[in-house]
Amino acid sequence: MSVSKNKATNLLRSSEKSSLRRFLVLYFILVVMILSLLGTFYYQSKEKLMYSNQRTLLSNYAHEQIQQLRQLHQEFPANTVYPRSSEFRSAIYDIERSKIFSTLKSKNIYFNKVFYRKNGVIRFMMYLDDYYLGAKYLFIEIDEDKEWYSSVMRDIFILGTIILIVLGIFGLFFVNLFLRPMKNSIMLLDDFIKDTTHELNTPISAILANVEMMDLEVMSEKNKKKLARINIAAKTVSHLYQDLTYLTLDHNRKSKDEWIDLKKLIEDRVEYFAILAGSKKLTFELNLNYSTIFIDGIKIARVIDNLISNAIKYNKRGGKIEITLRKDYFSIKDSGIGIEAEKVNDIFERYTRFNSSEGGFGIGLNIVKSIIEEYSLKISVSSILQEGTTIRVDFLKGTVDDG
């Protein structure tokens, strides 16, 4: 059961993987947006706190400066030195907003703002009740705290990263939770196929063996036709059985690679499908050169069988199937209904069929794809609606006999 489960987890189709990717991207964007919003709130609250602290500090400086101005006013003109501090800079302006004295960095002064930040400095304005030295407005200025900014940004980055990781773990957990029903369905279907496959083997073998053994000489034409139909039906079921067996049992077995004579193999398989093709009055056109490939015999047979089977299944009555074999590739062309351009990429998905009018489980091309990928071969599909489909398999250098 654990094997089945492991297998099921690998059964996610590319469309499901794409949905998963989309969900994760969407989730990530949403999380980043929420975190940005939280970061902004955090920054603003810290900024507010910093300003509140700075305002208190500047207010204290202002009261300190007023005391100094009061003293200077009393001592004037014996003492004419304007009070200065290493902690802050200051300026005094009279009631007509005319400058009396200033140690500020900039001459630009705003009389309508009590507390403000501009060009890297923070300024605080205080009104004097007694106009010492004629001063009505006192400005206190300090440089902006750059440490504060980098400290807050560091906090936001560290906290944001931790939250992002935690939410990412939650996201993966939820994705798995949502996908579990989907995985279970696929696993159930696979289990069903696996169980029924076992039950198909014996009766199909018996039917095919007995059909082969029947004496056609003593049989009437009518019965010969009936027997041919039985043969076709049994071979169709046999083909399906082999696909299902490969999918559920043989898929995980170790490959037994050997040099396979493709020309002979294709000829054998064409002969095997001859009766089936004959039922739709299809003709084979074989253009086969000699070619060998280093591959597992059962697997390459599954590839050829599935491609020929599809070419028969989706062909029109009285059509033809052209099979070409060259040293480094083979192609199978039918004269059938064709595939819509936007659906070409989906045909290799499991449980996907060209069209629902034909029978089958839609697993054939999925098997082809898995074998092609295993041997790093290249498969390409070109199709024109109502004209036919060509499937070409290119061999990798090293797998073909160059001699």
Binding site for another protein (CB under 8 A): 73, 76-77, 80-82, 94-96, 98-101, 130-136
d(CA 251, CA 280): 32
Q: Which lies closer to another protein via its Cβ, residue 81 or residue 213?
A: 81
> Nearest approach, Cβ of 39 to another protein (angstroms)?
47
ω before 203 within 30° of 0 (cis)? Answer: no
> Nearest approach, Cβ of 62 to another protein (angstroms)?
17
d(CA 238, CA 203): 10
Nearest 5°: the CA angle 275, 276, 282 is: 90
Sequence-distant (≥ 6) Cβ neighbours of residue 383 within 8 angstroms = 338, 339, 341, 344, 389, 390
Burial track 152-164 (b if 16+ CB lie within 10 A, e otherwise) = beeebeeebeeee
Phi and psi at residue 223, to the nearest 5°: -70, -30
d(CA 29, CA 16): 20
Instruction: Report the chain's terminal Cα–Cα distance, integer Å.
Output: 47
d(CA 46, CA 256): 68
> Nearest approach, Cβ of 113 to another protein (angstroms)?
20
Q: Which lies closer to another protein via its Cβ, residue 41 or residue 127?
A: 127
Q: Which lies closer to another protein via its Cβ, residue 77 or residue 398?
A: 77
Q: Which lies closer to another protein via its Cβ, residue 75 or residue 268?
A: 75
Of 195, 123, 157, nearest in space to 36 by CA: 157
- Tell me 114's DSSP state: S
Q: Which lies closer to another protein via its Cβ, residue 136 or residue 235?
A: 136
> Nearest approach, Cβ of 61 to another protein (angstroms)?
19
Q: Which lies closer to another protein via its Cβ, residue 3 or residue 81?
A: 81
Q: Which lies closer to another protein via its Cβ, residue 128 or residue 377?
A: 128
> Nearest approach, Cβ of 141 to another protein (angstroms)?
18
> Nearest approach, Cβ of 72 to another protein (angstroms)?
8
Number of helical (H) and strand (E) elements in the chain, helices listed first: 7, 12
> Nearest approach, Cβ of 83 to another protein (angstroms)?
10
